[in-house]
Chains A and B, each alone.
Chain A
Amino acid sequence: MIISIASGKGGTGKTSVAVNMALSIGKAQLLDCDVEEPNVHLLLHPKISQTEPVYVSVPVVNEELCDHCGKCADFCQYNALFVSPEKVLIFPELCHSCGGCAIVCPKKAITEKKRRIGTLKLGSAGDLELVYGELKIGEPMAVPVIKEVKRHIKKGKNVILDSSPGTSCPVIETVKGSDFCVLVTEPTPFGLHDLKITVQVLKDMGIPFGVIVNRADIGDKKVHDYCDEKDIPILLEIPFQRRIAELYSRGTPFILEMPEWTEKFQILFEEIRKLVGK
């Protein structure tokens, strides 16, 4: 079963939920898909066994074959090529690696080369397997790195995916193909507003979901009212406790010091399994 952990608003506790759930159920694969700011390894302290570069393809123009017709630049939807009468300029950060420029070039002057945009790390902590990606500083596109992380999903395993915040392409790429998505929110106007946007995305994508309310006793009751009204299951409530916040700040998953929570996460996992029907 593949479970993704997402939230519109940042800092609601996605990583904490992902790590504590994985530790509670054991023998799982934990994939940190927040490649812009991966944090799972800071809580899990894994042994890294493998580090690999992540590449994307970008065009290279053979100026001897090129007659500067400009068809490649006309085709490119991302303005990654600019053709002057003398030279072709390539802006690799804008390229989406679709390969179209090489297809439309009548002189076959375009080939592709690899460009590094990030790093993939594989490791383990106890019986958990960890995979995470790191986008290189200054690189805009997280999606190819997320794809590379997800390529390591093992069939038949329990897989937990930690997403980046928001509702745009990195989140779509992460939750795509999940059996279930857990939305972590907090009971504040910001939490509710961003929850509603994420709910819309998941409905459009046809992915079943439920909500975890973190810091459940701060703010107001409007997240609860909204979930009631829309028939969205609230799977778990985690109260605001200074102890939990302090443990997180030190990089310690709170179930390790508060073992009474282990069972709650196990029950949560079983409940999700029932909802998914697996």
Chain B
Amino acid sequence: MKQLTILSGKGGTGKTTLTASFAVLAKNAVLTDCDVDAPDLHMLLHPKIIKTQEFKGSKLAVIDKTKCVECGLCREKCRFDAITENFGVDPFTCEGCGVCTVVCPVSTITLTERISGHAYISKTDYGLMAHAMLSPGESNSGKLVTLVRQNAKILAEREHNDLIIVDGSPGIGCPVIASVTGIDVGLVVTEPTMSGIHDFERALQLLKHFNVLPLVCINMYDINKNNTQKIMRFCEENGVNVAGRIPFNPIVTKAMVNGKPILEYAPKSDVAQEIEKVWKKILSVLR
């Protein structure tokens, strides 16, 4: 079984548009959305949820005010400034480390589990899907990504799927690291802007750091052809394969508004044709 992750560094370069199209093209794959704090893939693939799991990400300190002597030791020792003026706990700041529970002289602080989100297993017209939703403002997105990927693996083994396609989140921090560890190919989707170039180089470094084979796709390549040339040259110099260049076309937004993968909405469009080429390239590399 092989694993492919679509990542980008910079947000809004077209990860989900591509992933949804790959879902249409793939014959025997499990689909996963690992952008757990702002998941969008479900709006194109319309999954029907068959199983929901609670996700307990981090813990939260709770102070029992009836026993609290207001000595202030918890506030002094908390490195996250999570204890408020009147000895409450700020849930947005508390990292659930438990330091306050051990320094409290009257043992009035406990750590409680909090539900930080939900993981789902669903059916779509294109295959099974593993996805999740982190509760707004929660931390530990990396842990939830790991849970989604475990779910995808179990599904793939059970159903004898030969590929897992992972839609990643922007950035290069914990959820992205959790989305690329142990995969076979990372497709970096970039755009020919200064930010796109800067962020794509960092995404490539991340893949190198974790020994993952990179592929590059330049989206909206005709917005700035000079910059596209720069990206092509950079890839050539660094021995990175460019899987394709997708033109800018407003039809991509129309497909999204209609809730459909571009490959279904406008299969004859220049965008769809190029995505098919990218997909063939990915398959040849995966084999």
Contact = CB atoms under 8 A, between A and B. Distances in A.
Contact of B173 (A36, A100, A188, A198): A36
B136 A37 contact: no
Given A98-B79, A188-B253, A165 B98 contact: no
Contacts of A250: 194, 224, 227
Given A39-B198, A166-B169, A138 B177 contact: yes
B124 interface: no
A38 to B, nearest CB: 8
Given A141-B173, A170-B173, A193 B209 contact: no
A82 to B, nearest CB: 17
A2 B102 CA distance: 36
A198 B253 CA distance: 22
B85 to A, nearest CB: 15
Nearest to B133: A197
B99 to A, nearest CB: 4
A194 B223 CA distance: 25
Nearest to B253: A218
A8 B38 contact: yes
Contact of B98 (A9, A75, A201, A205): A75
Contact of B210 (A75, A138, A193): A138
Contact of B137 (A9, A96, A201, A245): A201
Given A9-B11, A204-B136, A135 B173 contact: yes
B257 A77 contact: no
Interface of A: 8-12, 15, 34, 36-37, 39, 42-43, 75, 77-78, 96-100, 103-104, 135, 137-142, 164-170, 172, 176, 188-190, 193-194, 197-198, 200-201, 204-205, 218-220, 245-246, 248-251
B47 interface: no
A230 B92 CA distance: 24
B12 interface: yes
Nearest to B228: A249
Nearest to A192: B43
A125 B38 CA distance: 33
B58 interface: yes
Interface string B194-237: 11101100100110011000000000000110010000000000
Contact of B172 (A37, A75, A77, A245): A37
Contact of A189 (B92, B192, B202, B256): B256
Contacts of A194: 38, 40
Interface residues of B, number: 64
B276 interface: no
A190 B173 CA distance: 22
A98 B95 contact: yes
Contacts of A39: 10, 194-195, 198-199
A103 B174 contact: no
A220 B134 contact: no
Given A36-B172, A135-B172, A167 B134 contact: yes
B96 interface: yes
B139 interface: yes
B142 A140 contact: yes
B147 to A, nearest CB: 15
B95 A96 contact: yes
B250 interface: yes
B89 interface: no
B190 to A, nearest CB: 11
A201 B138 CA distance: 9
B97 A98 contact: yes
Given A39-B198, A188-B256, A165 B136 contact: no
B38 A165 contact: yes
A197 B37 contact: yes
Given A37-B202, A218-B253, A141 B174 contact: yes
B92 A172 contact: yes
B193 A193 contact: no
A165 B257 contact: no
Contacts of A141: 173-174
Contacts of A201: 136-137
Nearest to B41: A190
A188 B195 CA distance: 22
A98 to B, nearest CB: 4
Contacts of B174: 140-142
Centre residue among B37, B38, B80 by max chain A CB count within 10 A: B38
Nearest to A240: B250
Contacts of B77: 99, 103
Contact of B170 (A37, A97, A172, A197): A37
B98 A12 contact: no
Centre residue among B97, B102, B173, B206 by max chain A CB count within 10 A: B173
A250 B193 CA distance: 6
A37 B171 contact: yes
Given A75-B98, A204-B137, A12 B12 contact: yes
B11 A10 contact: yes
A167 B169 CA distance: 11
Contacts of B93: 176
B109 to A, nearest CB: 13
A249 B99 contact: no
